[in-house]
Amino acid sequence: MKKIALCLILAGLSISLQGQQDIFQRAAIVSPEINEDGTVIFRLMGPEANEVSISGSWMSASSFQLMQKQGDSLWVHTTQVLEPGFYRYSFTIDGVRAIDPANAHVIRDVASISNVFLLEGGRADHYKVQDVPHGSVAYRWYDSPGNDKKRRLSVYTPPGYEGSTRDYPVLYLLHGIGGDEEAWLGSGRVAQIMDNLIGAGKAKPMIVVMPNGNVAQEAAPGKGSAGFVQPTFMLPNTMDGQFEQTFGDIMNFVESNYRTLGTKEGRAIAGLSMGGHHTAYISLNYPNTFNYIGLFSAALNVNPEGLPDSPVYQGLEEKLIAQKGNGYALYWIAIGEEDFPILYQGVQQHRKLLDKLGMEHTYLETAGGHTWANWRRYLTEFVPLIFIND
């Protein structure tokens, strides 16, 4: 009885807190409601709204569905049966993009805040928090003399890392244009994917390092001394060679701050879109350093005038020949068949060059386009293939 009384007091306290700090928003409705058949119901209380629509990552690009008004105030939309997955969505209320007030789970992707939900089953079970041992996630600052600044990165260390004395292999995992050191952990579900693959014995325990590929930034917007600046794609120095040239600063930090194998056999590098471009050139300009290379929807050859005149991009064929001579265990390329034609063609052109030089590579072409759904999948497929002979 005392417990019940205490709960009632706390409930009263909660209601008061709402007045005092507006921190409690009681959802009179449930949204999203995920049904067992794979349909999902969205609800919004908007008695005064004239038009409400929903956009979601299960829809085709730029499309939306009008929500239906039920009674005086409730707007509802029920999806068709969706595949299991980790989905984003947002509402548009009388012309203004908005989040679902009944769902506190949001994610930032570049400058957009969207709600998220997870529809369990199949591959999506890799993206949920399961009852397996959990690794740690840390945000660290490293010194980058090459960029004359301290910079922030994210590091996943596998379960058991802290309590052991052994050395671990390292996967360097790079984001796309507009992303930052938080992108792979947020949209990419890296901590969950790694925990689940390692827990199931499908991947070797490894350190995953997620740097910020925008050398003009110290850190993700809001996390560096530039303050709460609005995120943008339009940063300088994103693909001009400077990130690749200063990548050694990151490796120096990682290898002197973590128990790493410190060998080529113990290093992998992979990246999505711009990060795929970075990956290809870092693997060439740090010769004999990486044994496993992953290009996910890589933004190769996007400039018809040719690459910028950084030494990083010069002598491509000779560097590839050297890479072949030094050897590598895996050169893994994946892209969606609906990706941007310029990227799709760039990837095929790169594959032709590899073929011409007799460089073995694994190629995966999936449905879909330039999406996080594909990048989560690619990570889930790539990681079990690396460090397998250690």
Name which of residues 312 to 341 contact a copy of itself (CB under 8 A): 340
The SS3 assignment for 329 reads coil
Q: Which stretch binds a copy of itself (CB under 8 A): 113-121, 167-175, 208-216, 359-367?
A: 113-121
- Identity of the residue, 47 or 145, whose beta carbon is nearer to a copy of itself in the bound complex: 47
- Identity of the residue, 140 or 324, whose beta carbon is nearer to a copy of itself in the bound complex: 140
Instruction: Tell whether residue 81 is a contact of a copy of itself (CB under 8 A).
Output: no
Total residues at the site for a copy of itself (CB under 8 A)?
A: 106
- Identity of the residue, 105 or 202, whose beta carbon is nearer to a copy of itself in the bound complex: 105
Stretch 219-248 residues interacting with a copy of itself (CB under 8 A) = 219, 221-225, 227-228, 230-231, 233-234, 238-240
When binding is defined by CB under 8 A, the residue of 152, 189, 267, 350 that contacts a copy of itself is 152
Instruction: Tell whether residue 23 is a contact of a copy of itself (CB under 8 A).
Output: yes
Contact 154, 184 (CB under 8 A): yes
The SS3 assignment for 312 reads helix
| Angle at which helices 341-356 and 316-326 cross, to 10° | 60
Residues 6+ apart with CB under 8 A from 300: 276, 277, 280, 343, 346, 347, 349, 350
Q: What letter would DSSP give residue 301?
A: S
Tokens encoding 89? 């969505």
Quote the CA–CA distance of 247 and 242 in Å, as a whole number. 8
- Identity of the residue, 37 or 228, whose beta carbon is nearer to a copy of itself in the bound complex: 228
When binding is defined by CB under 8 A, the residue of 178, 211, 266, 271 that contacts a copy of itself is 178
Q: Please state the closest distance from residue 30 (CB atom) to a copy of itself, in A.
A: 8
Tell me how far CA of residue 165 lies from CA of 50, 139, 162, 259, in angstroms: 62, 22, 8, 8
Stretch 51-80 residues interacting with a copy of itself (CB under 8 A) = 51, 55, 57, 61-62
Q: Please state the closest distance from residue 357 (CB atom) to a copy of itself, in A.
A: 25
CA nearest neighbour of 115 among 102, 96, 128, 130: 102
Q: Please state the closest distance from residue 291 (CB atom) to a copy of itself, in A.
A: 27
